[in-house]
Each structure stands twice: as C-alpha cells, then as structure tokens.
Structure 1
Amino acid sequence: MQLAQDSDAFNYLIAPDPTAPRLTRAVGGTDQKGAKTTIRVVEERPLTIFLNAQEIVTVMTIGDYPEYLALGFLRNQGMLQDGEDISGVDYDDELETVVVRTARATNYEAKMQRKTRTSGCAVGTVFGDMMEGLEDLCLPQTPVRTSWLYSLSSTINRTPSLYLEAGAIHGTVLCSGNQPLVYMEDVGRHNAVDKIAGWMLSEKIEAEDKILYTTGRLTSEMVIKTAMMGIPVLVSRSGFTAWGVEIAQAVGLTLIGRMKGRRFVCLSGEERLIRDADPAAIAEEPRRVGRKAAR
C-alpha cells in the first residue's frame, strides 16, 4: 500500500500533496486579454478494478492511493463483506489495474447487470439496487457539536490542496470530533469517498464516532456511501438533493450542508446537534484567493 503522508501543519494522517508532479501537469493557453499563460491542470487516468479474476469497473481517477480506491469501491458496492478475508491487493502501475483477492470465491456477474449511472462528477456507477444493504440499517445516533463543525470547516478550507492549486477536483475528509484525519481528493467525489472507505477497511478504523466532510453535493450516492461505511454524520460546503435528504432521514444520518463560515443548514438529525458555539462569534469565510498560475 502507498504510505500515508504526514502534514505537520494540520496533523492529518493523510493530507493532499498539491506539489506531486504526477497529479497535475502544466498547460499553456491564453487568458481573457489574449496574453499567454501557463496553469497547472489535474490529470485523469483510468484504473481498472478486479475482484479476484472478475473485472468489475474502470474508473477515471487522478491516480493516487489506487489500492484504497479499489478496496473502498468494492466495499461500498457490497462486494466485500464485513470481516472479509482479503488475501492481497496488487497494483500494477504499467497496466493501470488493481486486483483485490479474497479467500472467498466471488462472482458478481448478475449484480453487475443492474448498473446505475449516478450524478457524480466523472460519472459514478452503482451496481445492483442502489438501496441494497440499507433496508435494515440504522446508524448510531452520535451527537455532533457545532463547535466541531466550525473548527473543521476552518481547518479544511485552509489546508493546501489540489483544489486550491488547480481546481477541477473534489475533496472528502474523515474527521473525529474537531480533528480532521484523512483528506482525499479526486476528479469525482465518489472516488474521494471510496479512497477513505478503503483506508478505513485497510486500517480497521471504527466508524461510529466519525464525521465525513465533503466539498461536493449531498446526493443520494453520497448519502448511501456514507451510510454503507457506517459513518453517522455527513457535512458539505455544497447543497442537497431531495432523495439524498430522504435517505439520510430514513437511516438516521445527520446531514448538514451549505457549511460556509458561520452558516450551515441541517436537514436530518437536528436533534443530535449540540449547539455549543455562538455563530455570531464565528468569522465569516474570506473570499478564496485565485488559484496560482504555474511559474
């Protein structure tokens, strides 16, 4: 597995590395005045995921943490069981493939015939019934302090990232209380979530006291993936879809969106919010500085 990267400034277990040369490239163009300019743009590359001998899917990704992405995708699709005996995860950079091997024989041909294209950027895919595995799910009713939300939003939005460097990317952060732990980015928000799911599976991380923060919309896919991971709280800078809200309410997920500065909206789980911070004491979020041109 790729080693986690430390961030001394923000104490992440894994943090974005906007300087990694493989994730962006410099591209020349012209600006609004016709002047020549060079900017860094995010790379996209295919990654084909196998479960044992069966090819499952090819996803478009920036290419970091491919093993975590494969594990998380399969876990969130219900193709890896709780307590699964995973005998190997093999990544081939030249072939752009990851093979996840299990002690259990697997065959998901029938499930893969039922495929849903989701609203995610870079076009997400869900196999089988989208609600499969949620029928009897009831998430832990974990309380959430609003002071945590404000602290997390401030820290995450100041963290050096590919979004600030090049744009065209989504970020997702696994948090515990007011501490962000793992920050993943990708061209599709579903990929960023799957990377976190894969890290949690690989490191055997418990989910019941965690918060998932995302820069993307709170769609049905995002809510379902969060619920399947067992995480009871989902927070976003962006807005909601109606089905995403309905699913969150059905499974007991605390759902908070439009989290910017002192403002947020909670559409599910209001009874679990502990309002221990005065919004008037929270600084408004400053306007973002424009992304840097490559020098």
Structure 2
Amino acid sequence: MTREIRAKAILSRVKEPKKWFGVTYNMNIYRGCEHGCIYCDSRSECYGIEDFESVQIKTNAVELLEKELRNKRKKALIGTGAMSDPYTPIEKEYEMTRKSLKVIADYGFPLHINTKSDLILRDIDLLKSINRAFLSVAVTVTTYDDMLAKKIEPFAPKPTDRLKAMRKLSDQGIYTGVLLMPVLPFLQDSWKNIETVVKRAKECGAQFIIPWFGVSLRDRQRIYFYNQLDKHFPGIKKQYEDTYGDSYGCNAKKIKELYGRFRELCREYDVVYNMEMVKNYESSDEAEQLSFF
C-alpha cells in the first residue's frame, strides 16, 4: 500500500557529518520502506511512521530539491538511504530517486547512497555523472546466506545480487563498500558469516566495510522484531530477553573478539573498516589541493 504526500522540505542539515560518510545534507524521498527487514529501527515510535511498510511518496521531492540546491551557496555532500531505501520497490514505478539524481547531477553536487537494492544499476548513467563531483555507495550486506536473508530481509534483493551490483559500480570507478550492519546476535554473529561477507565483499570491489556487531531495539520495533523471531526462529526471542532485557543496544556477546578478528582481516585485504578512514567529499578536495604541491 502506498500514499502520495507533499513535503515542506527535502534536505535536512546533519549536525555531525564526520559520523556518517561526511554527509552534510540528508535526503529521504520516501517515508517507509517495502524491504520488510525485521530489524529496521525506523519502525520505532520516535520516528512517527505509523505503518512503515506502507510507503509514502513525496511527490514534490524533485521540485523541492531543485529549489533547495539552487539556493545553496556552497556544495556539500548529500546523503540518502538513512531512514528509507531510495531503491525501495515502488521506485520502479515512481522513479523519484532517478529524477532526484538528475537534479543532483545537473547542479554538480556530491552524493552518498545507502541501499540494499541492485535497482541502483538502472541509474548507472546518472551515477557516473555525479561521480565527476564525488559519489560513494554503501551496500548493506548482513549475511552471505541468501536463504537466511530471505527471512531477515524478506523483500530486498538477495545479498549475492547486491554484491554483484557493487562489483559493477566499482568497475565504473565509483567508490563502493559494504555496511555490515546490523549483525543480529544468535543469528548472524558467527565468525564464519562475518569472514565470508568480508571475503566476498573484497572480491566484488569493496573499498570499505563498516560493521556493527549487534542490533538496536526499542518500543514498537522490539515488538515487531520479537514477533518475527517467533515466526521464523523459534526460541531465539528468549535468548534476547535473557541476555539483553530491555536494553536499547544489543551487542554480540563476543563483540571485542569479533571486532579484533574483523580488523585484522580488513587490514590483510587492504579494506577500510572505520568511518574516520572512509573517503568523503572533503577529503577528496583536500587530496586534490595537496596534489598541487
């Protein structure tokens, strides 16, 4: 189910850009998402989206974006995909993301995209144009197992297809990598899963892999998550309740060991593994300035 709405603004200022890929302006073209990931924190009551699977389309998003970019005096990194995937399935019909990319390309702004969808390849022409300024793409992959992903991220493309899409983006010279998050305790936090994702990501051109070995749970999202655990993974909910109680941050039990082994593997593969090391628009400009000397 979808609903068309009109927004008052499309870009929101990010307080601390360095915490997330250097993003200065956040953009969400849709409210809600159809991928149905059982862990999505955006269902939480604080975000005010009553029915997260019922996507709201901001029909005036492109018009607002053009107006707002026209009035910006300085170019800065735009980010999309933080709250809802810009390539949620309804994008095939509405093409709001594609139209927005055209505006961003026309105004020469840099862009960062988070997505779980190989639909991004449809827009490779516009992405190559944006990349002249700067483009980074982070593809979420939480497991190498397509069958497990079908239960956890039921309506998103398979992880193997996402990685293939990342390979094609990387082959076009686009700065790409993986968001290895959230890694669900008791389901995805085995070293075999983490190691396999890292290896396959590297094979598919990943230049960075940003992890979180855990999951956030609060209010409405916790209820939804536990209902899905009962449906697909009987007995796992009790492990969460016994281990975490009502905690918001549910870290993997062997988190220090996992991070240690993960960092070693990333160093072996020459893959960036923390946000401070990720290339962003500002660091790209600095590198260009240094080249003159």
Alignment TM-score > 0.5, same fold: no
Considering fraction of residues, name the structure with more strand.
Answer: 1
With normalisation by structure 1, the TM-score equals 0.33
